Copies of this chain bind each other. A is one copy, B any other.
Amino acid sequence: MSPDRGLLVVGTGLIGTSIAMAAGLAGYDVMVDDVDPARLDLAISLLARGGRPWQQEPVSVAVVATPPNVVGSVCQQLLRTGLCSTVTHISSVQLQPQLEVESTLSLPAEFVGSHPIAGRELSGPQHASPDLFRERSWVICPTGRSAAASVEAVVGLATDCGAVTRVMSAEDHDALLARLSHVPQLLASALAASLVGMDRASVALAGSGLRDTSRLADSNPDMWLQIVAANAAAVAPALRPVVDRLASVLGELTQQPPAATGPAVADLLAAGRAGRDLLTGKHGERPVPWATVAVIVPDEPGALARLLGDAASAGINVEDIRVEHAPGHPVGVVELAVQPAGREPLHRELGRRGWTTTSSPPRTG
């Protein structure tokens, strides 16, 4: 096969194996490598359209999908072989590997950073999927010296994997991801950490708010330690205003005599709403927020399917679903999000079919 479509993936964890799967389906000649022979074997056995161990053949694109702390050195090694027309990686942090490569190789034209924003709270090739990148964002970070052909090759790979690409500098990427991903991780972990020492029966009184707010704390601590350490220079200025704001709130809450008006708390709550408006596209890409219909659903096989079948028979598309479980109880409340015009018809149709429902006005996601 021509080296034009030769793709080397180094590191066969969740992301690397998923890229190998997606690229294989898109017609690339996929080769894989890993320092762990057992993981490499597992990954190869999972690659439906083939994928073989790399044996130092020349390749068009090499993707370094190793843990963050060795991305820079593995990129250097590959660049030194002269076998790769383009070398990229998939790290959540862009500047540190770029600086590592630059430290000995004065930024070769073959090097282009990239970051598919498609992680999950799982790892390992056994959880890989060729669809992991479908409709997800994939940021491409050329250096000042990246060859146009190499940038195109990485954009092409990301597109072939089904992702939507966006090009920006490593510095911009790292500052952005610090705010959108790394600080949220630290806050979720800090919140979950504050539960340590409580008894389970007390924690069980928590509503879905605490569960949602702390979900990211399930992520892999080793990987996140590397990410936060590698992006410390961008995480610190992103975290500082959050800590300062919370410290102001704390100061206000402990003021003697107690403050009557609470400007710090009021500012925090108001700014929080304004920030959410940016995120949920309330005034942006989703001009019409969804309406919800809440339904009581028994915990038995087929109940959800029956509910959604009944919704579909009303001709209404369910845009989102949220299932609220009451631990140890045989029923749950399911919230169906629909276009506002669909709320009343859905409410009526489900009521007619015997479901206990209550409809609510628009909410945003």
Tell me which residues from 124 to 139 in chain A have a Cβ below 8 Å from any Cβ of chain B.
Answer: 126-132, 134-137, 139
B245–A190 touching, CB < 8 Å: yes
Which of the residues B181, B262, B331, B365 comes within 8 Å of A229, measured between beta carbons? B262
Indicate whether A80 reaches chain B with its CB closer than 8 angstroms. no
Residues of B near A83 (CB, < 8 A) are: none
Query: A195 contacts which chain B residues (CB < 8 A)?
Result: 179, 275-276, 278-279
C-alpha spacing A194/B180, complex, angstroms: 9
> Is the Cβ of B212 less than 8 Å from the Cβ of A135?
no
Q: Which residue of B has the minimal Cβ distance to A243?
A: B246
A184 pairs with B191, CB closer than 8 A:
yes
Q: A205 touching B166 by the CB < 8 A rule?
A: yes
A133 to B137 CA separation, bound complex (whole angstroms): 40
Do residues A139 and B205 form an inter-chain contact, with CB atoms below 8 A? yes
Please report A residues at the B interface, Cβ cutoff 8 Å: 117-122, 126-132, 134-137, 139, 164, 166, 176, 179-181, 183-196, 198, 200, 202-207, 209-219, 221, 224-225, 228-229, 232, 235-236, 238-243, 245-247, 249-250, 253-254, 258, 262, 265-266, 268-276, 278-281, 284-286, 294, 296, 299-306, 308-309, 311-312, 315-321, 323, 325-329, 331-333, 356, 358, 360-361, 363-365
